[in-house]
């Protein structure tokens, strides 16, 4: 558990340091995630070690957005008169992106014959 946590933080630290050092537009945790995926693909032992902790954290991923969400309330007034139009822009663009993304995925899956039933 502690080993897994230390490794998780270590990969984040490595990601943050790389992102800063090379002034990349990609945040440290995302780089850490990519590096850890590569490491896990190479070592099944590491995957067994990290799995319980990761599943514990990810099963309550929503909780981690609560503090930032509370911060949003105080800034809702900053949206000002543009508030309603921004709300429409967000709802429509998010719905369109989900629909287009999922439909493209299944359309290409059909074209290439890579159906979900293959798994």
Partner 1 sequence: MTDFTEIWTYLSRGPLLWLTATLIAYAIGDALFRAANRQPLANPVLIAVTLLGTLLWATNTPYTTYFQGAQFVHFLLGPATVALAIPLALNLPRLRKSALLVAAALIAGSVTSIITALAIAKAFGADQTLLATLAPKSATAPVAIGIAESLGGSPTLTAVLVILTGITGAIIVTPLLNALKLKDWRARGFATGVASHGIGTARAFQVNPVAGAFAGLGMALKAILTALIAPLILRLF
Q: Provide the minimum distance between the beta carbon of 53 and partner 1 in the complex, in angstroms, as a whole number.
A: 7
Inter-residue contact 33 to 15 (CB < 8 Å)? yes
Which residue in 32, 36, 5, 38 sits closest to 19, CA to CA?
32
For the record, the structure tokens of 61 come out as: 């991923």
Q: CA neighbours within 13 Å on the CB side: how many for 92?
A: 6
Give the residue with the Cβ less far from partner 1, 3 or 102.
102
Q: Provide the minimum distance between the beta carbon of 38 and partner 1 in the complex, in angstroms, as a whole number.
A: 8
Q: Provide the minimum distance between the beta carbon of 22 and partner 1 in the complex, in angstroms, as a whole number.
A: 13
Quick one: 14 exposed, middle or buried, by C-beta within 10 A (0-12, 13-18, 19+)? middle
For the record, the structure tokens of 2 come out as: 């502690």
Give the residue with the Cβ less far from partner 1, 21 or 61.
61
For the record, the structure tokens of 29 come out as: 């945790």
Q: Provide the minimum distance between the beta carbon of 28 and partner 1 in the complex, in angstroms, as a whole number.
A: 7
């Amino acid at each position: 558990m502690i080993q897994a946590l230390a490794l998780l933080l270590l990969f984040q630290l490595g990601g943050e340091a790389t992102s800063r050092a090379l002034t990349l537009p990609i945040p440290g945790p995302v780089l850490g995630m990519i590096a850890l995926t590569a490491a896990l693909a190479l070592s099944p032992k590491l995957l067994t070690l990290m799995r319980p902790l990761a599943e514990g954290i990810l099963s309550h991923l929503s909780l981690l957005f609560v503090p930032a969400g509370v911060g949003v309330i105080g800034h809702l007034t900053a949206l000002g008169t543009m508030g309603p139009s921004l709300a429409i822009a967000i709802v429509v663009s998010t719905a369109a992106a989900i629909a287009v993304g999922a439909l493209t995925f299944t359309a290409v899956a059909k074209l290439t014959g890579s159906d979900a039933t293959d798994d």
